[in-house]
Structure 1
């Protein structure tokens, strides 16, 4: 089977302690219409093959795809994920987890932006 060289991130923005372990209560949020702040898995170091794959994805031809949803469940049903598109590495800080800022190739739709608990004002 041929490897697709793609990482697909499924992000739940509003995490509750009843649904998620403390070790996966990542901070993930939209910074602007095209920038997204994301935390890697808690054990991923910058030196690890996974960390290197994330920050060097453009050099290695790897694709990053981002899907988000506001909550795990709404009205007793599992919430759908929304595909935000391809993301490209901008910068990172830290390790275990790695805090990465991704630039989305397409703007996040306004209806989804309102739901993402954006930490910066969209102009």
Structure 2
């Protein structure tokens, strides 16, 4: 099982250049996620993600908008189980996950780069 904890809006104050991942909703069910910057598409971790459906591995997505708000650590929202759709690149790997349930509208708005 892979639990992916995602902070959507990252600041240079809280994240290094190598962890400013591009993570966002593509639609109400598709989510673009970047692996850790050291993960290649040929590594065991990369292959686990890419072959998630064939290996029957469970991937669960959790998101939050910011690391903290008003000095308080922000909670994560559980988006549910996700399944591999496609990938590109390496170090990091860009992966598109399909969620089994629709992303709630509030979360979709904060995680979609095209929604204002």
Range class of TM-score, shorter chain: over 0.9
Counterpart of 1:35? 30
Q: Does structure 2 retain, via aligned residues, the 8 Å contact 1:32–1:120?
A: no
Distance 1:20 1:119 in 2: 19
Q: Which residue, 81, 90, 93 being the options, matches 1:86?
A: 81
Residues 17-42 of structure 1: per-residue CA shift (max 9 Å, x gap): 00011111100000110000000000
Q: Name the SS of the counterpart of 1:58 in structure 2.
A: helix
TM-score by length of 2: 0.96
TM-score by length of 1: 0.91
Distance 1:60 1:120 in 2: 33
When the two chains are superposed, the root-mean-square deviation of aligned CA atoms in Å is 0.9
Deviation at residue 120 of structure 1 after TM alignment? 4.1
Q: Which residue, 93, 103, 110 being the options, matches 2:105?
A: 110
Counterpart of 1:119? 113
Runs of 5+ consecutive residues of structure 1 not aligned to the other structure: 1-5
Give aligned pairs, total. 115
Structure with bigger gyration radius: 1
Q: Name the SS of the counterpart of 2:65 in structure 1.
A: strand
Q: Name the SS of the counterpart of 1:14 in structure 2.
A: coil
Distance 1:98 1:43 in 2: 9
Q: Name the SS of the counterpart of 1:68 in structure 2.
A: strand
Stretches (4+) displaced over 6 A: none
